[in-house]
Amino acid sequence: MAEIVIASGKGGVGKSTLTSSISVLLQDRKIGIVDGDAEAPNLHIIFDVNTWESEVEYREKSIAEIDYSKCINCLLCKETCTYEAIREKDGIPSIKGYVCEGCGACKVVCPNDAISIQKNILSGWIRIGKTKYGPFVSSELDVGQPNSGKLVTSEKNIARKWVIDGLIKNIIVDSAAGIGCQVIASLSGATHALLVVEPTKSSLSDLKRVYYLAQHFRIKSFVVVNRYNLNPDFSELHDFVSENGLEIVGKIPYDKTVAESMAKRKPLVEYDPHSPASKTIHEISSFVDTLLS
């Protein structure tokens, strides 16, 4: 099984455009598609998925709860909480549920057993659907909730079960931006990473961070440069690639058709297979095909 993650340290560089188009071009290779951005999922929009085969509540959050019939307002809980999830008003503590991690430290120090930890609080949803290009799993974190990384891990486990069941042979993951929990979950266990970058100092700085993260997991990484023709002489990017023995497997030109395809809720290569960006993505897909099982 190949598990390929499309990642970058920066948002808006074209990960979802690339993921959706590769899914179209390699659909005959039995690919399962994972939207690894639980905080801002968007692949279902590009795939024009309006209904889901299943939607499951994800309940992993735990929060503290105060029994005021027992509370003596000693505020030891507030002093102990490293997450600053306990506020005080008029000498009375209360829990900020959107901050509380349910670690239980407050419960341990409470001298009157007034605090309990409530488990299985709703954190978000996992959704499974079908596209023309393969089975698709997405998730959405509830507002202000933690555990985005756990949601992504659960999505990937579903896709890996599809492999075991023979439904698919390979997995492609559209990672979130940055290097946080969601990205760590996306990269964990992956076989390869396509790192998308733009030819700017900001994007290069973020590329370095996600590359070092991929290196930590010992994931073979390749680079895709998007909108390369807006700054073709940006030598710092090529210096970094060369110094780290990386390979640029595609240089996608700026293409107004990309925005049009998003507005039409279609993957770029399906909306306009002959656009300049589509032609390059065809070449990138041919390379990705060599990585698949």
DSSP string, 30-73: -EEEEEE-SSS--HHHHTT--S-SEEEEEEEEEEEEE-TTT---
Q: How many helices (H) and strands (E) does the chain have?
A: 11, 11
Residue from 207, 142, 220, 139 nearest 179 by CA: 207
Kindly tell me if the per-residue pLDDT of 121 is higher than 90: no
Reference 163, options 18, 30, 16; nearest CA is 30
Which residue's entry shows tokens 């890996």?
Answer: 160
**Are the C-beta atoms of 17 and 24 separated by less than 8 Å?**
no
- Over range 68-88, report the average pLDDT: 96
Residues 1-49: tens digit of each pLDDT: 899 999 998 888 999 999 999 999 999 999 999 999 999 999 999 999 9
pLDDT average, residue stretch 250-260: 95
Report yes or no: 160 and 166 within 8 Å, Cβ to Cβ.
no
The pLDDT value recorded for residue 60 is 83
Cα–Cα dist 206/208, whole Å: 5
pLDDT digits (tens, 9 = 90+) for 85-101: 999 999 999 999 888 98
Side chain identity at 278, as an amino acid letter?
S
What integer pLDDT is reported at residue 148 of this predicted model? Answer: 86
Can you give the pLDDT at residue 122? 87
Statement: the pTM of the whole predicted model exceeds 0.85: yes
Q: Which residue has the higher pLDDT, 273 or 122?
A: 273
Name the burial class of residue 179, with classes exposed (0-12), middle (13-18) and buried (19+) by CB atoms within 10 angstroms of its CB: buried
Query: What local confidence, expressed as pLDDT, does residue 98 receive?
Result: 84
Residue 95 pLDDT: 96
Cβ within 8 Å of residue 93, ≥6 positions away: 66, 71, 73, 75, 77, 78, 86, 87
Helix (H, G, I), strand (E, B) or coil at 230: helix
pLDDT band at 145 (very low <50, low <70, confident <90, very high): confident
Per-residue pLDDT, averaged over 168-178, amounts to 96
Q: What is the pLDDT of residue 12?
A: 86
3-state helix, strand, coil in the chain (%, to 5): 35, 30, 35
Q: Which of 120-124, 157-161, 195-199, 249-253 has the lowest mean pLDDT?
A: 120-124
pLDDT at position 288, please? 97
Chain-centroid distance, C-alpha 23 = 17
* Domains of the chain, first to last: 3-47+133-289 (3.40.50.300), 59-122 (3.30.70.20)
